Structure 1
């Protein structure tokens, strides 16, 4: 490679000359190798409209020393191809790269953000297993309409807002398109040759016309491609790849080479794909919302969607054809000649309670097989709803779908046929809602939602007293002899008696018994159109387990104030601040939650005996609870007030305490599953009382002036009460009854301490290990009814219980700051199965 300094001048000052001469050599089959030349300009704000270059051997005309711009020239050796392996080889970072009819050869993978200027047809050759990404702007000088050609088996990515006016040709390898103007002017043509790949980035939109070209042409006949395109292998087709997200083709596509959709992403075809053409959806999703003048084949694991047109559609085993663009969006798809579902194919149908569904209209014949899978949306479903799924003008040739299924637990599908139509019938079955429930809480909620509204009592019809019978007097007896009786003439044998017309028996149509209305009709209607997992999740979210979980957390968190009092009892005036965060894993179907808590306790003691002190304390505490994914949250503000007593009785330390707490709870929860959504809020008050005590006996035989080991035992009885409240929100809002819960906490542990001297006095290093047990009402139960329910039937919900067993570890230090004043800091953690809790505390003690 030869680097030469050049001068680059505005057009008014210099003459027009090329930088270098192209040297060509015929190699092998006579393919011409084109040498590459590039000019980089390093002056910010310089607008290059037309560039004048001088060859390395020529003198620069009209040179002005006060207006000189520097540039570099890359001139490859005349006999070898020079490969660019990094961006630095393209010249100065801020200078544009100029194509002047030569081919740029690249190897390795790198990105260039510089501007590229195309003066004449630009060739880019990317070596196999390499990738070149041009993210800068590609443009032409004024009046130039040169385009770009891609060679080589590697990948060329274009992502800039490009402005060039020439066409683009993909001869080999892969062209990756990003954004909406990667190919320059939208009037430019993109030519894609057989055996190449157009790779679409997420969100890419192609407005340009596209021509697919090659030898493997599609020969269409009225019955489809003849012969069928060889395969969906790369060598036989043009491949459109979307590896993630969604890309869109809006411009028209024409040509005769088979096209294969690859990659798990979605490709939306909104324009016209001309005739003849053949599209194979081999991977991911293709959405045809425009006009496909040729045939479409969908392979196993792939999907065809949309509301457009296609000449013929073939859905293979394991493939899915679903008109429209998703659940709840019924649409029509038109097939102009032939539709065929192979055995194992899936026809996925969206249906609404209003009677709308996906439909395929076939102007020719439809051959049916495979499965109809129905996805229904929430709504006011009737006992039976009928839909038209397929309308084929030339019939079905005696074929039918093999089966009909649905993702709904509470609707049963069936199919019926006539000469031109396929009908789907969705009928409400007798499956109760609790069939999807897995826990007692879900079962209770299901029973309440599935409960019928009681029929009004029948009012007996009062008996009607018949009128007295009318007395009919006999006719008077005639006077004189009776006239002779004349016999009726007997008809001749030839005379045919006129018969009475036959009586037609009208069949009695058995009227379908209407489904009785439900006590919670709105909730019921939204659940019955869910699949089993969704219905189960809906029952779980609709329960009142959150209120029960909040109450059990209030009981567990009562320990912070209690432990602070027992730790500082008998210390004089003291204060302690604490903070803790913890999690509780899901249990028995009740969702997990997490909690952050902080508070401050202020206390004082006064001697009441030579070995005892009595005192009182005040505390404030704030905690924030939440369930994962924002499904529920609660803020709890608490104020405590209490009394405490501490005494030393013959080497045994005794501490007692009594505390009353007042709680304010603001609760929010969210119902979000399927088409069901509700935001619920509630506020209520609560109270708690706790009576607690501790006995600690230092081991005298291990005690010294420097250290001490003290076993201890604690006992606490705690009762929490919560007022009833009514949630604000929609149909899922509940009316929660007042509740209370009592738990007995017991602890056994061991404390160790070590004293050492400091310049301010002394410091004590402390540690504590304890085992905790809870008994009594450890289960948290709430009882509530749905606010809008007519019968107000109560159902029970189980929240997360109080942990029965746990271990705790505390490590801290208490150091003197001045005479009778000390400051302590400590870590405190409590560990139970699935319930880690970590916290810190700081306390200040003033002894007087």
Structure 2
């Protein structure tokens, strides 16, 4: 850049170049001209030594660069003299080109040219370039140099950047531009240190007529009033006074993220079409530069005094940029031990008097660039009678990285760039557009793999390249190109040509290959490597080579194909839903599956290979002969309507063994139906070694004729219950089998495979009904809990030791709302999920000095659902009960009983195979219990403890009922379930006064054990079938109970309580909350 100092102040220096960091005799490592790398230098000479460039000869010679690009070289002899110096040094023959103030010299073969941006008259309108011929795997590449405008504001540079973007879009080969862009990467003119901001303030105060400087100062200042006061106080006082004036120490701070006026607009615009090529060492940080830090290029070492331009600070403004979509395939390949690569620091020229001076006020920047992409070839294609230049990408042994990458190349439009920060995602003028970002996010690089919805538009614009430049893709020499989307291969007009090459489709996003495929003599492979992916080739496959389907996924052919080579199914499924009859032979290898409804030529199924016609049930036609080798498999689907897979050929079918396996497609199979699965115009010879099916209760019987093979399904001797996986499923299976032939449910199950039949038995079994009985027994605890909470000594604690008694006079009324949600598992039984809520009320009084009696009543609503099944029920429960307690000093004995009437509505849906049924039932159940508890109260300070033990006997009875529905409707007998609960544990409580209100904290830990000889069960039957017994999930055998609560007085004779109840068992868990109110009157 220019810094505003008159050039007449600089005098020509006629000394040899040497370096403070390296001597002039130090040579760069030998550069192998045939390795395809480009060794490039960019240097703004700042018009220094313009007439005596020979003084820089040591630096130019030792650098050994292929291409040297100069800025501010107008009127200089660099482009004319340096080539001769380098040739004399034995480095090759260099040509050159100069336009405006930018020039380029190169020893590589190619064509020179100049570009001038249309409509611009600014400094940066010129590009001097060379189109370098391709060699050693590197494509023809345009290398150019620019010098953008140096003005304070970015307006002119933005216009120049847009012109460069437009030019780059017209290029069909890679473009690398370098030079002095007069713009930084993370800020437009360098992140300003506190001292630089103070310098800017002094400069502005001396001449307060630059609105841009004032705008910047306003953004930097922490106190705008203090800023304006300083300017007003010192304006017109003279330079010396202003330089000596004290600026408030807290007015400015280092800029660690660019203010709005310092937004890197120029580079933001360029990054839309270019990728910034840089090493991590030269990447700018979000902090002001320290001089000579290796990532700043202006001002150079020794030229810091030239930075007198207030709105600029130290900054890296010399860059290399590569155009998209090619930029992702050029990488920096610098030797870290090469002192002539990277940002080259401390470059000095020796004067005749022995003193030294910097080479320029810019640090030179140099890199070696290596092409890691495919070979790019230019060819002509006639379009509407006109020859058009096209680009073919070729993955072959000529590619630079072919061998080192194991012959594989990942062709993706995602450039995975690492040069765009989230705060730099911008509009067409380089102004940031992402809102709501934190400061840390603004400084975070855009992740081209991110799934964050906020950044998808940015990823699409900056990361996803346009591959429409591809006219054709050729894969050869045993190479593999990996893609995850069709667009990576270009537009649908871009052919895929395979010549001993493989296209591998990875992932599941790509489901269509929409382009013509041409098979050369070496043949080709399409590898769908994800087993869950299904890819369709929409267009024709042509050519003379062989075609191989590989990978575990499915490949579907829908166009009529004309290729004549062999077809090999080496893995996964090839669905031919068109024609490949021109293919000389189709061979299915081990692990491969051939299907579809199309036509193939001669067909051979090798050992381990499978033919499965159709896409469900379908017909595969063969225009030739068919051979099944020993170990092969023919997989045929059949349905209940008499349809089946078929292989039909005009030729012969030879069966040398192998297996014929039948798969059920639906249900409703008629044992009297014949299914023709093979048909041969020229006859069938041989037999399959084995015949099997996935039917559980039907076995195939094969009928061989002269021209075909026919299947008939016969009932075997496998009992339904033999495929049941649990006791309940086996019981239901026996009930279904007892229905016999002609029953819709029996017939539906008869035609199932074993896994589906097992699920059918599961659904029919009705195990929800006995499980509900177990849940009703378990939920009887809500009455006991309410009574225990009312009678427990914990109600008496007052917080004052020695005052445990409760007022015995009058009546005590209480109410408690409860709710819980939980589940219960059983061995071989589905989990029963339940939720319960309700309200209980009671009233009691002391009937004698030592005996308290009370009555209670309430209502509850419960919902049940069978885990994993569409079966649910609701129960309305009405409860009456009694309770009482007596005390013997600290010992309390309590007792009670209750009876509940439960009205239950149940619904079940049955669905398997082609069978469905909707069932519902209304029935009643009763829950009766008696219970008692002994507890001993102990007081320790303000805390009260009460160990206790209790017993409860619960009896549940259910009425018999019959479901409404179809063939799967059950008739369920009445049943009873008895269980005894023992509970032992410890309660604790304390109380304290809060603003005159007595507050009590309570807790309980206990263990509950259920005694029962059996799980709840029910006898049931299907209409016309035998009775079978089904067990349900019982109350958990051992349960840990945890309670915690608080109650507090709300008036003299009333209190409110809230409690949590948690129950934890091996078979499930339950969490509940209850809230209560108590009133004495």
CA distance in structure 2 between the partners assigned to 1:240 and 1:808 by the alignment: 55
Once the two structures are TM-superposed, the CA of residue 99 in structure 1 deviates from its matched residue by 6.2
CA distance in 2 between counterparts of 1:38 and 1:723 reads: 94
Give the conservation status (yes or no) of the 8 Å contact 1:415–1:424. yes
In the alignment, structure 1 residue 660 sits paired with structure 2 residue 950: no
Task: Give the Cα separation in 1 of the matches to 2:893 and 2:145.
Answer: 91
Which residues in structure 2 correspond to 1:403-552 (within 5 Å)?
A: 403-437=690-724, 439-451=726-738, 517-518=741-742, 521-552=743-774
**TM-fit CA distance, 1:686:** 3.1
Q: Paired residue for 2:604?
A: 314
CA distance in 2 between counterparts of 1:810 and 1:718 reads 22
Q: CA RMSD in A?
A: 4.6
* Aligned counterparts of 1:272 and 1:551: Cα–Cα separation in 2: 65
1:810 aligns with 2:1043: yes
Q: Which residue number in structure 2 is paired with residue 706 of structure 1?
A: 942
Aligned to 1:485: none
Task: Write out per-residue CA displacement over residues 146-191 of structure 1, whole angstroms, 9 at most, x where no aligned residue.
Answer: 5563656431235989794862314465242536x66565444333
Equivalent-residue separation in structure 2 for 1:727 and 1:145 (angstroms)? 77
What is the CA deviation profile of residues 384-417 of structure 1, one whole-angstrom value per residue up to 9, with x for unaligned ones?
A: 4332221223334x43211101112211223232
Counterpart in the other structure of 1:731: 967
Alpha-carbon deviation of 1:698?
2.8
User: Conserved in 2, the CA contact under 8 Å of 1:126 and 1:156?
Assistant: no
Other-structure match for 1:301? 591
Question: How many angstroms apart in 2 are the aligned matches of 1:315 and 1:84?
Answer: 55
* Matched residue, 1:155: 410
What TM-score do you get using the length of structure 1 for normalisation? Answer: 0.72
Q: Is the 8 A contact 2:595 2:612 kept in 1?
A: yes
Q: Give the C-alpha shift of residue 797 in structure 1.
A: 1.8
* Contact 2:736–2:1025 under 8 Å retained in 1: no
In structure 2, the residue matched to 1:474 is none
User: Conserved in 2, the CA contact under 8 Å of 1:686 and 1:722?
Assistant: yes
Q: Which residue of 1 aligns with 2:778?
A: 556
**Which residue does the alignment assign to 1:222?**
none
Query: Within 2, Cα distance between the matches of 1:828 and 1:378?
Result: 49
Cα deviation, 1:791-820, whole Å, max 9, x if unaligned, reads: 364332221123344332334444555545
Q: Does 1:651 align with 2:890?
A: yes
Aligned: 1:771 with 2:1077:
no
Residue 799 (structure 1) aligned with residue 1039 (structure 2) = no
The answer on whether the counterparts of 2:945 and 2:986 sit within 8 Å (CA) in structure 1 is yes
Structure 2: gaps spanning 5 or more residues? 1-39, 45-70, 72-101, 103-114, 147-157, 181-264, 285-320, 333-369, 375-386, 396-400, 402-407, 415-463, 796-811
Counterparts in 2 of 1:52 and 1:706: CA distance versus 1, 3 Å:
closer
Partner residue in 2 for 1:599: 838
> For 2:747, what is the secondary structure of its paired residue?
helix
String of CA shifts for 1:214-237, please: whole Å, max 9, x gaps: x525xxxxxxxxxxxxxxxxxx75
**Matches for 1:47-446 after TM superposition, within 5 Å:** 71-72=269-270, 105-106=329-330, 149=393, 153-158=408-413, 164=468, 167-171=471-475, 173-178=480-485, 185-199=491-505, 201-202=508-509, 204-213=511-520, 216-217=522-523, 237=525, 239-242=527-530, 244-292=532-580, 293-294=582-583, 295-325=585-615, 329-368=616-655, 369-396=657-684, 398-437=685-724, 439-446=726-733
Contact 1:375 1:407 in 2 (8 A): yes
> Structure 1 pair 586/156, CA: closer, same or farther in 2 (3 Å)?
farther
Q: 1:625 to 1:150 in 2, by over 3 A?
A: farther
Offset at 1:641? 3.3
Contact 2:277–2:331, Cα closer than 8 Å, also in 1: no
Asked if structure 1 preserves the Cα contact closer than 8 Å seen for 2:823 and 2:832, the reply is yes
How far does residue 289 in structure 1 lie from its aligned partner after superposition? Answer: 1.0
In structure 2, C-alpha distance between the alignment counterparts of 1:593 and 1:560, rounded to whole Å: 18
Q: Determine whether 1:576 maps to 2:798.
A: no
Change in CA separation of 1:387 and 1:606 when aligned onto 2, cut-off 3 Å: same
Gaps of 5+ in 1: 59-67, 90-95, 109-123, 129-142, 218-235, 454-516
How many angstroms does 1:83 deviate by? 8.6
1:846 Cα deviation after fit: 4.0
String of CA shifts for 1:754-803, please: whole Å, max 9, x gaps: 455554455444343333333457521223333xx3x3643322211233
For residue 273 of structure 1, give the secondary structure of its aligned residue in structure 2.
coil
Assess if the C-alpha contact under 8 Å between 2:528 and 2:552 holds in 1: no
1:844 and 1:675 map into 2 onto residues whose CA distance is 55
Task: Give, in whole Å, the separation in 2 of the partners of 1:649 and 1:544.
Answer: 50
> Residue 150 and residue 633 in structure 1: after superposition, are their counterparts in 2 closer, same or farther (change >3 A)?
farther
> What per-residue deviation string (whole Å, max 9, x for no partner) do you get for residues 633-658 of structure 1?
22333333333323324433232323
Measured at CA, do residues 816 and 14 of structure 1 come closer, stay the same or move farther in structure 2, by a change above 3 Å?
same
Name which of structure 1's ranges 189-198 and 289-298 shifts more when overlaid on structure 2.
Answer: 189-198
- Asked if the contact 1:545/1:590 (under 8 Å) is kept, the reply is yes
Cα separation, 2, equivalents of 1:554 and 1:37: 85
Cα distance change, pair 765–390 in 1 and its aligned pair in 2 (3 A): same
Q: 1:106 to 1:810 in 2, by over 3 A?
A: farther
Question: Quick one: which of 850, 856, 862 aligns to 1:611?
Answer: 850
The structure carrying a bigger helix percent of its residues is 2
Name the counterpart of 1:493. none
Question: 1:464-486: per-residue Cα shift (whole Å, max 9, x none)?
Answer: xxxxxxxxxxxxxxxxxxxxxxx
The match for 1:232 is: none
**Contact 2:554-2:574 within 8 A present in 1 as well:** yes
Q: 8 Å contact 1:544–1:783 — kept in the other structure?
A: no
Q: Which residue of 2 aligns with 1:691?
A: 930
Provide closer, same or farther for how the CA distance between residues 841 and 74 of structure 1 changes in structure 2, counting only shifts above 3 A.
closer
Cα distance 1:770–1:258, how it changes in 2: closer, same or farther (>3 A)? same
- Name the structure where strand makes up a greater proportion of residues: 1
Quickly say closer, same or farther: Cα 1:43–1:57, change in 2 above 3 A.
closer
CA contact (8 A) 2:671 2:712 kept: no
Q: Secondary structure at the match of 2:782?
A: helix
Question: Secondary structure in 2 aligned to 1:683?
Answer: strand
Question: 406-415 vs 541-550, which deviates more?
Answer: 406-415
Residue 433 of structure 2 aligns with which residue? none
- Between the aligned partners of 1:76 and 1:336, the Cα distance in structure 2 is 54
Matching residue of 1:637: 876
Alignment partner, residue 35 of structure 2: none
